[in-house]
Amino acid sequence: MKRLNIAIIGLGNIGSHLFKYLNDNKKILADKNNCQPIVKYVSAKNKNRKRKIKIKKSQWLNNYLDATKLKDVDLIVELIGGSDGAAKKLVFNALKNKKHVVTANKALIAKYGDQLSRIAEKNKVNLEFEASVCGGVPIIRSLKEGLIANKISKIYGIFNGTSNYILSSMDNENKSFQEVLTKAKMLGYAESNPSADLNGDDVSSKLKILSSLCFNSFLNKDIYVEGIKDIDKTDIDNANKLGYKIKLLGFAELLNNKIYQRVHPTLIKKNSYVASIDGVLNAVIVEGKPVGQSIIQGEGAGPAATTSALVSDISSILRGNIKFPFSISSKKRKKIRFEKIDNRPFSAYLRFEVIDKPGVLSNITNIFSKNRVSIKRLVQNPDKNKKSSSIIIVTHNSKDKYLKKIIREISRKGFIKSKPKLIRIDNI
């Protein structure tokens, strides 16, 4: 039987789990793929670190970059992380030296995916990155293979388990953002520095990769990004009263011949499918022709789910055939203009914490009418003790730029007590 020699570089949460999985499942993988995977080498930063896996002396590479030069390495699995530094050096060198690459590194692919795929195609090797988007949810292979027949018009969903855990726990356990974040760190759902999860950057990297696969385009930076760090318990409770849930969603969509990419907290109907996805789960919804709507849901992160995606990529290489990393040849990928969301219409939830005095409400509603944004619903919750009032307004569809203008204008008013909120509503 054919053999494929693998080097795993990076033996942290994911690398050690994959190492163990490949050792324990050699036979079944060989039977399924008609080619035997051999973990020939491994490397990480610190040779002396205690690890839960048993590494043979002959497997350890003192210099991780040696994997890119050794003749008896066919495939390098990069599990270091980060868009630059060691991971970048490893993957560029590996592809230049005609080694197949499998990576879980969304930051690297979102930044250098176009350059890397050109090198892979030129050198006729595979570059696979299923594990970089939504952990165990096999969305990339689905887009490249299972859904190949389709012209995709929209992809959206929950792409970040940490944010989803925080939002759904605030809702279900009646806790504040800070309380839930602390618990998420304790359970290992949030990193000690969770900023990329909370400010939307993690979803943005994943969405860039997905939309280029959906629209056969190069990776594109024109993407509106807003995270969940300003969402508080009051917004969650208000949403509930209005019949909505708040979710951090990513969207890439074709609308009236324009393509938009956007990441932001979104109010969605309580009884919608996406509203039912709680905790660390991810869900991806694809709309295309001829398939209609297709949904995949599952664990978005963690060693087990990520290993599942990595093994799918490794198996694809074991089975042979060189595939285009982004599904279509780099020569045929397009430079598409992604529109800013300024002119895209949204219905929205706006919240103003104000000093409770006569004239404030009419001042606010005048600014809405001046900007020709019509109000669908208005709720006022006065707090007599604090002499303040919370004003919640749900608008009809209006261009995003006018909604933002209203927020800017009202923020400057002396009666405003804290930063006003704007959360877009989507009818999914």
Please report how close the Cβ of residue 279 comes to ligand NAP at its closest, in angstroms: 14
Q: How many of the other CB atoms lie within 10 Å of CB of 233?
A: 15
- Per-residue tokens: 121: 């195609």
As to burial, measured by CB atoms within 10 angstroms (0-12 exposed, 13-18 middle, 19+ buried), residue 192 is exposed
Pairing, β 224-225 against β 281-289 = unpaired
Please report how close the Cβ of residue 81 comes to ligand NAP at its closest, in angstroms: 3
- Selection from 108, 195, 192 nearest residue 160 by Cα: 195
Nearer to ligand NAP, 133 or 354 (CB): 133
Nearer to ligand NAP, 43 or 117 (CB): 43
Residue nearest ligand NAP (C-beta atom): 12
Cα separation, 391 vs 128, in Å, equals 49
Q: How many of the other CB atoms lie within 10 Å of CB of 224?
A: 20
Cα separation, 333 vs 412, in Å, equals 45
Which residues are near ligand NAP by CB under 6 A? 10-15, 43-46, 49, 64, 79-81, 86, 104-105, 131, 135, 301-302, 306
Which own/partner contact pairs does 44-53 have at CB distance under 8 Å and 24+ positions apart? 44/9, 44/10, 44/11, 44/12, 44/15, 45/86, 51/11, 51/16, 52/16, 52/20, 53/11, 53/16, 53/19, 53/20
206 is known as an active-site residue: yes
- Per-residue tokens: 281: 């789960």
Nearer to ligand NAP, 12 or 298 (CB): 12
Nearer to ligand NAP, 104 or 360 (CB): 104
- Per-residue tokens: 47: 């040779």
Please report how close the Cβ of residue 124 comes to ligand NAP at its closest, in angstroms: 25
The one catalytic residue among 154, 206, 247, 421: 206
Cα separation, 71 vs 79, in Å, equals 21
Please report how close the Cβ of residue 48 comes to ligand NAP at its closest, in angstroms: 9
Q: How many of the other CB atoms lie within 10 Å of CB of 374?
A: 11
Beta-sheet strands, E only, within 214-279: 224-225, 244-255, 258-269
Nearer to ligand NAP, 146 or 302 (CB): 302
Nearer to ligand NAP, 13 or 272 (CB): 13
- Per-residue tokens: 251: 């969207």
- Annotated catalytic residues are 206
